[in-house]
């Protein structure tokens, strides 16, 4: 696979490079990331041929959008694709602490969930100003679903439906303020539900269609049938496929650790890097447009692109199927759907 290979979403014409850069680390996710480190990751991404960049108001409580917007200023608008998100209105708040919701030294803007028509429009306008970009290519609804909101899910879902959130997104697309609309979530089920009530184009799905987890395969097949493109994020499943013992942001259960051990054994037998397999596997599905991976600095970005472009023999994917480590019917690289 090549980072520079373009996948074009048929309905919207949005064309994405094989890999995109996720910019949560630009917002000091888990630790302070100096601007120079973020700029180094961005430059390494650009030099490698990556032309898709994803951010959100929530990342660093507006820090990521500000940083990415500054970095993109030096390039012609037609030379890259950028996505951002709505669903939280960033509200000035001097009580924001030194670490909030995983972000270190966040800026003094408190995220407030708001998926209503007015909330979407306010969030979008603020993102335009922080990015310095009038028309981000893709606009995602950020973090919606029953796992995210628990017993408040029905309330927030009604903001999107009855409260006009979906209508606001459709209006922005109709006016040319964005080319594609969708959801950026960790729950495939909520994308399925959204497809029933709104005409969505491209969605970002984190951690739910990966080398480790393919329960969403039938859903992915449905997206391919309906022309809904999927941006794959979280390919390392919170890092368990990249060397740590976390899964879904918590300590991995024994059954997941055992499955990762089996994947390691298969990789060792074929001389394949597990991270490379994790980055390449999801893109074999016809619904998948690109894979987004975060990088805090130049070295991490260089490692990610090397894994993405590592040559993996067809025998490796056959071995995974024989060991029962890939779901029946899941496409694998080099074999199409």
* 80 assigned to active site: no
Task: Kindly give the pairing relationship between strand 109-113 and strand 88-92.
Answer: antiparallel
Rounded-to-5 percentages of helix, strand, coil across the chain: 40, 20, 40
Q: Which pair of tokens denotes residue 251?
A: 């300590």
29 pairs with which residues across the strands?
A: 103
* 93 assigned to active site: no
What does the alpha-carbon distance between residue 278 and residue 337 come to, in Å, rounded to a whole number?
A: 18
Task: Kindly give the pairing relationship between strand 246-247 and strand 250-251.
Answer: antiparallel
What does the alpha-carbon distance between residue 330 and residue 279 come to, in Å, rounded to a whole number?
A: 15
User: Which entry of 58, 85, 179, 209 is annotated as an active-site residue?
Assistant: 85
Q: Which pair of tokens denotes residue 335?
A: 């074999």
Q: Which of 293, 284, 161, 319 is nearest to 233 (CA)?
A: 293
Q: Which of 224, 211, 218, 225 is nearest to 307 (CA)?
A: 211
* 59 assigned to active site: yes
User: Which entry of 54, 114, 143, 201 is annotated as an active-site residue?
Assistant: 54
Distances (CA, A) of 268 to 246, 264, 271, 272: 21, 6, 5, 6
User: Which entry of 52, 59, 113, 140 is annotated as an active-site residue?
Assistant: 59
Q: Is 268 helix (H, G, I), strand (E, B) or coil?
A: helix
What does the alpha-carbon distance between residue 231 and residue 13 come to, in Å, rounded to a whole number?
A: 15
User: Could you list the active site residues?
Assistant: 54, 59, 85
């Amino acid at each position: 696979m090549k980072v520079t290979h373009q996948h074009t979403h048929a309905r919207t014409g949005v064309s994405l490079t094989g890999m995109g850069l996720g910019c949560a680390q630009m917002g000091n996710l888990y630790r302070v990331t100096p601007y120079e480190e973020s700029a180094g990751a961005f430059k390494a991404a650009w030099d490698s041929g990556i032309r898709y960049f994803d951010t959100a108001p929530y990342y660093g409580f507006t820090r990521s959008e500000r940083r990415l917007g500054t970095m993109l200023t030096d390039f012609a608008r037609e030379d890259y694709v950028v996505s951002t998100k709505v669903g939280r209105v960033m509200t000035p708040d001097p009580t924001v602490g030194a670490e909030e919701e995983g972000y270190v030294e966040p800026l003094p803007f408190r995220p407030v969930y708001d998926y209503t028509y007015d909330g979407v429009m306010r969030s979008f306008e603020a993102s335009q100003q922080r990015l310095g970009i009038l028309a981000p290519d893709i606009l995602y609804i950020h973090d919606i679903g029953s796992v995210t909101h628990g017993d408040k899910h029905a309330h927030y879902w009604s903001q999107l439906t009855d409260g006009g959130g979906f209508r606001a997104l459709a209006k922005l697309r109709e006016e040319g303020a964005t080319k594609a609309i969708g959801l950026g979530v960790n729950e495939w089920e909520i994308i399925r539900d959204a497809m029933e009530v709104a005409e969505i184009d491209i969605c970002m799905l984190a951690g739910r269609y990966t080398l480790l987890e393919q329960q969403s395969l039938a859903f992915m097949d449905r997206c391919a049938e309906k022309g809904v493109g999927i941006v794959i994020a979280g390919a390392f499943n919170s890092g368990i496929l990249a060397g740590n013992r976390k899964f879904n942001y918590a300590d991995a259960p024994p059954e997941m650790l055992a499955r990762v051990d089996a994947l390691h054994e298969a990789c060792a037998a074929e001389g394949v890097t597990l991270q490379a397999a994790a980055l390449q596997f999801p893109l074999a599905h016809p619904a998948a447009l690109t894979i987004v991976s975060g990088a805090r600095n130049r070295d991490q970005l260089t490692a990610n692109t090397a894994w993405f472009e590592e040559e993996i023999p067809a025998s490796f994917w056959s071995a995974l199927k024989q060991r029962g480590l890939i779901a029946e019917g899941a496409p694998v690289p080099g074999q199409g759907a």
